[in-house]
Structure 1
Amino acid sequence: MARVSQEHLDARRRQILDGAARCFARNGFHATSMQDVLTEVGLSAGAVYRYFSGKEELIAAIAAEAFTAIRGAFTDASKATPPPTPDVLLGAVLRLVLEERIPGADRQAFARLILQVWSETLRDEALYETLASGFHGMRVLWAELVEVYRETGLMTADVDADRMARTLIATAQGFIAQQALFGDVDVETIQDGLRGLMSMETQSPS
């Protein structure tokens, strides 16, 4: 019996994750059944359950994969000279999450899925741990990048790096919430707004 190559296994897992993400984005997490996922990916139950035990494991894998991709973007940014400014980096990360990760998924629908995932953390401890770990990782990465900004002279404000990291993460979360609720905001809007705020000069009181 011929052995299945790792490349084939990885491609099949990718097929399942992308199909599940499209289903969840289109119909919502709770309204999507595993049968919907099977139909979307065109595979048998046995083929899918070989990789994932159910919807919860699928959504956790999608979230973990997104964080892995974001960490890669930050790692690349920290190595660049000079590093991309926060508005540029935040825009790249948001495009990665909302536009590039899941081929064929509607941007607003996928933003709504992210909000559903956040709400699921209130009742699903395993999913909470996945997102909490990702959130902590983002704080560390942003804080490290803030230090790089300071070292290269791009940032002079003496504000705690973790506080700045939390603020930048909150900006991304707020954008995702706006996109999910209203669908009338694009990444360029957030980039332009952040760049405008970054241009403000602090004046010493006379």
Structure 2
Amino acid sequence: MPKVDDAHFAARRRQILDAAGACFAREGFHRTSMQDIVRESGISAGLIYRYFTGKDDMIAAIVTEWHERRTTMLGDDPATGYLDVLRRVGDPETRDELRLAVQVWAESARNPAVREMSRANVDRPVAAVAPVLAAVSDDPESLARVFIAIYQGLVLQTLWDDGLDHAAYLRAVALLLAPLGFAPPGDGGQGD
């Protein structure tokens, strides 16, 4: 019986987070009200408050999930995983996710808790790939941060420029990776 309760809890929580994420991506954190989330989710405010203390709690959960997904995508092969993360940015289905990412970055400049999570979610991958990059750089942490900045820049450019050639962007990044000994196998980062 507890499995059903756990599954129900997880499904309801997911429903609320999906609704909140859609509202945040569309209107931003500050313009989104709890009533907007109630309408989007179809769940009463009282029930939402059983799962989350408020918008900040939802934002924290969304930020945590967002970074966990990217960490999982990197996998065991950092170069291929990194190009997969970049490739996903060009997927039209991720548009709301990209808008939400920019909202998180903007919120991190204002909200110390979101800034701390965002910093941790940059510092962890930097620490994870720095040992790999140490073989090709005297400053592997800075090099890792450059690749994070490339990702962040692609997110912004994708939102600003509907005509951005993602395949060309990926080929350029693959060219940057190649001299470091991290050229991905197969398509050179062109995508499917």
Could you say which TM-score interval applies, normalised by the shorter chain? Answer: 0.7 to 0.9
Q: Give 2:125's aligned residue.
A: 138
Matched with 2:16 is 16
Asked whether the equivalents of residues 23 and 37 of structure 2 are also in contact (C-alpha less than 8 Å), the reply is: yes
Which aligned pairs between 1:38-49 and structure 2 lie closer than 5 A? 38-49=38-49
The match for 1:68 is: 68
Q: 1:119 aligns with which of 73, 88, 106?
A: 106
Larger radius of gyration: 1
Give the Cα separation in 2 of the matches to 1:132 and 1:15.
27
Q: Please identify runs of 4+ aligned residues in structure 1 that moved more than 4 A.
A: 95-99
Deviation of residue 107 (structure 1)? 3.5
1:128 deviates by 1.1
Cα displacement (A) at 1:109: 4.1
**Which digits, 9 at most, give the CA deviation of each residue in 1:128-149, with x for residues without a partner?**
11111111112112224435xx
Task: Please list every run of 5 or more consecutive structure 1 residues that lacks an aligned counterpart in the other structure.
Answer: 78-82, 100-104, 151-156, 202-206
- Higher normalized helix content (fraction of residues): 2
* Alpha-carbon separation, structure 1, partners of 2:19 and 2:90: 15
Residue 180 of structure 1 and its aligned partner are, at CA, apart by 2.4
Distance in 1 separating the partners of 2:133 and 2:10: 35
Q: Is the 8 A contact 1:23 1:36 kept in 2?
A: yes
After TM superposition, the score normalised by the length of structure 1 is 0.74
SS state at 1:136 partner: helix
Tell me, in whole angstroms, the C-alpha distance in 1 between the residues paired with 2:62 and 2:21: 7
What is the aligned-residue RMSD (CA, Å)?
Answer: 2.7
Instruction: Determine the C-alpha separation between the residues in 2 that align with 1:123 and 1:112.
Output: 17
In structure 2, what residue type is equivalent to 1:146?
Answer: L
Equivalent residue of 1:56, what SS?
A: helix
**Equivalence for 2:156:** 177
Q: Which residue of 2 aligns with 1:153?
A: none
> Which runs of structure 2 are paired with 1:31-180 in the superposition (5 Å)?
31-74=31-74, 76-77=75-76, 83=77, 86=79, 88-94=80-86, 107-146=94-133, 150=135, 157-180=136-159
Tell me how far apart the structure 2 counterparts of residues 158 and 118 of structure 1 sit (CA, whole Å). 28
Deviation at 1:8, TM superposition (A): 0.9
Runs (5+) with no aligned partner, structure 2: 181-192
When the two structures are aligned, how many residues end up with a matched partner?
179
- Structure 1 residues 186 and 7: CA distance shift in structure 2, 3 A: farther
Distance 1:117 1:93, change over 3 A: same
Asked which structure has the greater RCO (Cα within 8 Å, sep 6+), the reply is: 1
Q: TM-score, normalised by structure 2?
A: 0.79
Note closer, same or farther for the CA distance 1:41–1:187 as it changes in structure 2 (3 Å cut).
farther
Deviations 1:182-202 (A, max 9, x none): 23336434321111334569x
